[in-house]
Each structure stands twice: as structure tokens, then as C-alpha cells.
Amino acid sequence: MNIVIVLLAAILVVNGLYAFRLARDLVKHRKETAEEPGNPILLALWGAAIFFLSTFGISDFALSTVMYRSRKLVDDKNLPGTLNTQCAIPVAVMALAYISAVSVDPLTLILCIVAQMAGAYLGPRLVVKLSVKFIRMFMGIGLLVATAFILANKFNLIASGGIATSLSGGKLIAAIVLLFIYGALNNVGIGSYAPTMATIYALGLNPAVAFPIMMGACTFSVPMGAMEFVRLGSYGRKITFFSSLFGIIGVLIAVFIVKSLNLGALQWIVAAVIFYAGITMLWEELFSKKQTGEAA
């Protein structure tokens, strides 16, 4: 049996189980759900927008945290659960769409996904003693350097990037090691999307290959945690319902755009996402926390 078909089937099984448990909980608590704060139209538009952006690697966690806290749509104690439960289904759609639509070598895809998942599982044992400040600074600078290389390539100053859809030998080993590290860094709040994009580009792969790898790894880890939040009732039900449902629309629009873009345009998007992630990391460590301390 084709390994990609097995992977797609596994995604459907894991996320189908989550969707069933979510639906059962929403039906059971439909009255409480209707009484929760939040305008349904606003939540629907917000869900479509954030998961459109998330498909390109912009953190829906960060955007949603600002939105929900500023409008007091969910208690802080339920915020982590809400962030996880609202994204599980859209991320599954991302994974199914990209793995089906983007041409990538099955062995490269599976090994990279497994490496990132292993890093996420073993990460707490490896990163617990590391300084988060140091990691953010190092990653932020690294992402800005990666952006500079992409732009240098765009202006024909150097040769980098590529159109390959598979890795082998030393490059494959490098990808496995780096994606394992990125998965581990998720445990200290450092997202893996932008570093994965930078790595895929640097190793000479088609930038589009980053998308099925990123979404493929997330779609197995997120629903497992989300099911626990649903079981405990520790999440915003109304937010999750509307964001999950309309988030699918945002994802499908974004996937269509990525599929229809030529390589040159996609490289600009990758550069923008990586630059944004690098600047955000450095800003948080150099300015945001300093200002918070002064205010306190």
C-alpha cells in the first residue's frame, strides 16, 4: 500500500476521533455554548482569517491570544485549551490538502514528520535546562540571516534554494536532526513553522515542500492534547466551534493560492514569514519584556 495513503488514513482516524468527541461535547453543552461571549459572525470571520494566515506559517496561537484576551472572550485558565481545540481540525485539513497536492518524496516526508514529532515528545527532557532567552535570540538572528540569503538569491547575488522534492544522504540526515530540534523547541514556545521553512529552502528543496512537513507533524500531536482539554471542559466552546468550522474555509483558500503560485512568488512569501518570525522573537526578548518590567 502507498505510504502516503497510509499517512492520510492515519490523519483521518486521529482527527476523526477528535472531531467526534468535540461534537459530542458541544451537543451536550449546547446551552452553555450559546451563552458564552462572542459574536458568531465575528468569530466566523476571525476563524477564516487566522487559519488563512496560519497556513502560510503565521502563528494562530499568537494572534488568537491577543484577540481573545483583549475582548475578554475566554478566561485565561481556558485559553491554552481553546488555542489547541480551535486549530486541530483546520490543521488536519491543511495536512490532508498539502500532502495530497504538493509533490514530495514519501520517504523524505515521513522521516521529517517523524523527526519533528519525536522532538516534540522528547523535547522536555532536552530543553528543560536551556535558557529560553538564548534560544529565542539565537533563532531570531538565524531566521534573519536565512531571510537575507533568500533575498540575496532573489536579487541574483548568490545561488540558493531549489526545486527538488526529495533529500538523501547528508542533507536528509541534516533535515532529520534539525526538525527533531525544532520539534523540541516547541516545548519552550518557539514555533517550528518558520525554522522549517528556512531549512527546507537552505537544503535546496522546493519551498512548497515545507508545508506538508509542517502540517503533517502538527496534525498528529495537536488533536491528542485537544481531546484532553475537551474531556476536562477546559476550553471556549463557542470560539472553538466557529473557528474550527470557518477556519476550514480559510485553509482551503490559502492552499489554493499556494498551489497556484509559481516558485518565485512562493519564495517571497517564505522570506516574509521567516523575517516576521525572526523580528518577533528578537522584539520579544529585547524590547517587549523590558517594557513589561518597567511597567511593573
pLDDT tens across the length of the chain (296 residues): 577 888 899 999 999 999 999 999 999 999 999 999 999 999 999 999 999 988 876 778 778 887 898 888 998 888 888 988 999 999 999 999 888 878 888 889 999 988 988 887 776 566 556 666 766 777 677 778 767 766 776 676 655 556 788 889 999 999 999 888 887 776 555 667 778 878 887 888 887 888 888 888 888 878 878 898 999 999 999 999 999 999 999 999 988 876 676 666 766 777 787 787 778 778 877 776 555 444 44
Amino acid at 65: T
Specify the pLDDT at position 292.
Answer: 46
- β-pair partners for 164: 205
The three cell numbers of residue 104 are 514530495
The three cell numbers of residue 202 are 537552505
- Residue ranges covered by each domain of the chain: 17-27+39-101+217-260, 104-205+262-296
Q: Which of 106, 140, 120 has its CA nearest to residue 285?
A: 140
Backbone angles phi, psi at 104, to 5 degrees: -150, 145
Q: Which of 194, 221, 12, 196 has its CA nearest to residue 109?
A: 196
Specify the pLDDT at position 161.
Answer: 57
Q: Which of 155, 132, 175 has its CA nearest to residue 285?
A: 132
- Is residue 46 within 8 A of residue 71, CB to CB? The reply is no
Specify the pLDDT at position 48.
Answer: 95
Specify the pLDDT at position 162.
Answer: 67
Rounded to a whole number of angstroms, the CA Rg of the chain reads 19
The three cell numbers of residue 264 are 518565485
Q: Which of 181, 198, 183 has its CA nearest to residue 277?
A: 198
Enumerate helices (H) and strands (E) in the chain, giving the number of each. 13, 0
Q: Which of 288, 296, 277 has its CA nearest to residue 139?
A: 277
Specify the pLDDT at position 294.
Answer: 46
Specify the pLDDT at position 190.
Answer: 64
